[in-house]
Amino acid sequence: MILHIDMDAFYASIEQRDNASLRDKAVVVGGSASGRGVVAAASYEARRFGIYSAMPMKTALARCANLVVVPTRMEIYAGVSKQIREIFHRFTPLVEPLALDEAFLDVTGSEALFGSSAEIGRRIQRTIAHELGLDASVGVAPNKFLAKVASAHVKPRGFTIVEPANVHTFLDPLSVAKIWGVGKRAEARLGQLGIHRVEDLRHADLDKLKQAIGDASATHLYALAWGRDDRAVIPDREAKSISHETTFHTDVTDEEVLRAILLRLTEQVGRRLRRHDRYCSTVTLKLRFSDFQTFARSATLDSATQSTQVLWETTRDTLLRRIPITQPVRLVGIGVSSLANSRTRQLGLFDDTSTRDAQVDQTTDSILQRFGKNAIRRGTTHQS
């Protein structure tokens, strides 16, 4: 069985944990109180006002007069994420991080030691609460898709089990919006076809669905409606690719917001590469628009890298220019592939540049850990 563990309002919960005056208040992390920047995270109290991540800060402030804006402390969040991963690894070596605040775990081989998958999930949830003072929601299911949907089924502090015999019972009543890749526009388009719940999609005519939304999207959504997902949980050290993507609560039209989110995703990918001493030779940008169209563009680097700066320059200066932003964006993602470790990667003619960038990343990380987030930052993320 697979576990998907998703920390509840991760950044905001850490701020509320570390500062008692913020507890039970509407808190957002990111941007500034003057209205610049975007929301990186919102507490559950803030979400009651319709505030969510990737929302322009000025919109969030307009929705809640008493909103408390807290600057991001990425070095703190990364440190807590490392503690969470250490807890995961007490129970299984098969841990696939998706971001700082969520991961898949394959615990099939651990049941003889620690009990059933559900018991392992409960133990992890309790351990995180006891040792770190934070809440997590857990989904237990036969595959990654079902586990992820299950972890979001009840929040916060949720715990949902989907047994193999009950897959359709669990999925069928859900809105199609619960399926990966279905946003508001996609939901409306499926609604025009009479598809509102997962059960409707499961019983839809696949050929007509392909005509309406395209072969790839139709095949993908149809398989998920049946609860089919054969992807394995792959730890970073064994992965052939590493990626981060996010689906927006509301389609994004502001290119400044889009760039800010892309930079954040790029930084997460870079950190994962360095954490496992991996280097990539290919960078891929993925964009999904409001009409279901999905575009992916890749670039091959002159030499393998784990530098955030190289990844970001490739994304910003090369890949973004290959995909015209002509309509609202629903999903963005950054991925890297053609991975190698430091012992097997091929050095390029200008590899000294990659080495310098890696040293900059290491030095920057050290400065942030020692002196705090305001000691040094990338110019494109400056939001004060």
pLDDT in tens, 67-121: 999 998 888 998 999 999 999 999 999 999 888 899 999 999 999 999 999 999 9
* Domain ranges in the chain with CATH number 1.10.150.20: 177-225
The CATH homologous superfamily to which domain 2-7+92-167 belongs is Reverse transcriptase/Diguanylate cyclase domain (3.30.70.270)
Strongest mean pLDDT among 175-189, 212-226, 329-343: 212-226
Local confidence band at 362 (pLDDT 50, 70, 90 cut-offs): low
Arithmetic mean of pLDDT over the chain: 86
CATH of span 236-372: 3.30.1490.100
Q: Residue 6, annotated ligand binder? A: yes
Whether pLDDT at 360 is above 90: no
Please report the pLDDT score of residue 91 as a whole number. 97
For 164-216, what is each residue's pLDDT tens digit?
Answer: 999 999 999 999 999 877 877 778 889 999 999 999 999 999 998 998 888 88
Query: What residues does 160 pair with on adjacent strands?
Result: 139
Please report the pLDDT score of residue 374 as a whole number. 40
User: Both tokens of residue 314?
Assistant: 């490739």
Q: 102, 238, 267, 313: which one is catalytic?
A: 102
**For the chain, what is the total number of helices (H) and then of strands (E)?**
15, 13
Please report the pLDDT score of residue 350 as a whole number. 47
Please report the pLDDT score of residue 342 as a whole number. 65
**Beta carbons within 8 Å of 318's beta carbon, 6+ residues apart:** 299
Q: Residue 101, annotated ligand binder? A: yes
Mean pLDDT of 149-158: 95
Architecture of domain 177-225 in this structure: Orthogonal Bundle (1.10)
* Domain ranges in the chain with CATH number 3.40.1170.60: 10-70
Amino acid identity, position 129: A
CATH of span 10-70: 3.40.1170.60
Q: How far apart are CA 220 and CA 276, in angstroms?
A: 31
15 is catalytic: no
Instruction: Give percent of the chain with pLDDT exceeding 90.
Output: 55
Cβ atoms of residues 303 and 350 within 8 Å: yes
